[in-house]
Copies of this chain bind each other. A is one copy, B any other.
Amino acid sequence: MNVLIVYAHPQPHSLNGALKAFAVQHLEQAGHHVEVSDLYAMKWKAQLDVDDSLDAPVGDVFNPSADSKHAFEQGRQSADITAEQAKLRWADAVIFQFPLWWFSMPAIMKGWIDRVYACGFAYGVGEHSDTHWGDRYGEGSLTGKRAMLLVTAGGWESHYSPRGINGPIDDILFPIQHGMLFYPGFEVLPPLVIYRTSRVDEARFATHCETLAQRLDTLWQTPPLPFRQQNGGDYTIPALTLRPDIAPGESGLAIHQQRKE
């Protein structure tokens, strides 16, 4: 299988660098093909702007969506964007690896999402009608591919537990896992989060590698997070609210996952 690792850490000689090297070696030893988009090493341009299209703005002034759509459809995107989209098409699974900075991804990786996720590619896909609100949240260009977050955090696991002060890790990662991965069609695997990174000695590193190896070995067997498909009947259209008879009276992020009955 083909695995893309989108990786953001500014220092190769780091816990993240060591985990990335381990993942590449482990996957290759298992016979997989691996590509790494090492965003710092590539000096990835983080800010989405008018230079992302080779053409002048289609309207009077630059419009992020309209010009992204034009450039994507006409083959006039900046070459770095086109190259990353090709890697996504090639990949069967994508691992996004980053240190959790301020409860989100580093800016350079957010800039990968902002720019590679072109209009017509990752959003603005499919028909809008009374029963179908675009190909998104379970449908879209990346359908059939799997994605997984590999995240390091300085804080303790309890700080990210269901009643932890930082918020439950599932909720903190919801904008990424549901909004950036499930939205364009990925099946999203449970994240692998490594806590208390300043306390990782050799023994703990070996344990983390074992866990990572197990996750990599089961990339194609692990059940994805059971996010609800937008157009599968669970949501009213166009309000896109969960049907009143599903999880009645509840709200919050957890209702967007199917439950075991």
Contact = CB atoms under 8 A, between A and B. Distances in A.
A213 B163 CA distance: 37
Contact of A48 (B50, B107, B165, B255): B107
Contacts of A111: 46, 107-108, 111
Q: How many copies does the complex hold?
A: 2
A48 B44 CA distance: 12
B104 A253 contact: no
Contacts of A64: 10-11, 99
A230 B99 CA distance: 23
Interface of A: 10-11, 13-14, 40, 44, 46-50, 60-65, 99, 101-108, 110-111, 113-114, 117, 137, 154, 156, 158-159, 161-168, 171-172, 174-175, 178-180, 183, 230, 235, 238-242, 250-256
Given A180-B103, A238-B156, A230 B165 contact: yes
B163 A48 contact: no
Contacts of A255: 163
Given A10-B50, A172-B174, 5 more contacts: A46-B108, A102-B117, A168-B252, A252-B253, A252-B254
A21 B254 CA distance: 39
B11 A61 contact: yes
Contact of A252 (B103, B110, B252): B252
14 contacts: A11-B61, A46-B108, A102-B117, A102-B175, A107-B110, A111-B111, A156-B239, A158-B241, A164-B240, A164-B241, A167-B175, A171-B171, A171-B252, A253-B253
Where chain A touches its partner, the secondary structure class is: loop
A171 B47 contact: no
Contacts of A65: 154
Contacts of A251: 162-163, 168
A13 B241 contact: no
Contacts of A171: 171, 174, 252-253
Contacts of A238: 156
B108 A63 contact: no
A113 B103 CA distance: 11
Contacts of A178: 103, 167
A47 B108 contact: yes
A160 to B, nearest CB: 9
